[in-house]
Amino acid sequence: MKKLLIVLFGALIFQGYVFAESWEERAASRTPWSSDFPDDPACWNTSVEWNTVNPWVVGIGAHFLYEDYADCYRVCAKNNTCYQEGWMDKDAASATCTSSSTDSLRNILRGDGTSVFLGPSHYAKSPCK
């Protein structure tokens, strides 16, 4: 009986390993970003317009500075923000992002001309590669 349980347990572990999906696979299928996988990178689904529905999907952003702000985009996805008009006035905009800064998401992604590289006008948009 003990051997049977060990074999069954081993089969379950192997099956879980075989069917475990990587973030790369989720990115390839444009899976919406989920807090179930909090370490997945987040980027903007380019088929979604501003101020409509949550655009954040699993993937790497196309902008050359994406890596510097990847944590901020993940915070946007986690808090379901950064894509609606007036998002900077909401409580979620006060969340901090990036390990090298204690500044708020609002200030880092403000897009007021000093951070133009993060997106057009006052939005913070990083389209997926």
Using one digit for the tens of pLDDT, what is the confidence trace for 110-129?
655 444 344 444 345 678 88
Q: Would you say residue 10 lies in a domain?
A: no
- Residue 7 falls within a domain, yes or no? no
Query: pLDDT digits over 65-75, tens only?
Result: 788 888 888 98
Q: Which two tokens stand for residue 2?
A: 């003990």
DSSP string covering 11-43: HHHHHHHHHPPPHHHHHHTTPBP-TTSTTS-EE
Range of the domain at 97: 22-118
Please give the tally of structural domains in the chain.
1
Query: Does any domain span residue 26?
Result: yes
Amino acid at 28: A
Whether 3 is covered by a domain: the verdict is: no
Distances from the Cα of 123 to the Cαs of 4, 24, 75, 106, 111, in angstroms?
A: 58, 26, 15, 10, 6
pTM: 0.72
pLDDT > 70 fraction of the chain, expressed in percent and rounded = 71
27 within a domain of the structure (yes/no): yes
User: Do the domain assignments include residue 9?
Assistant: no
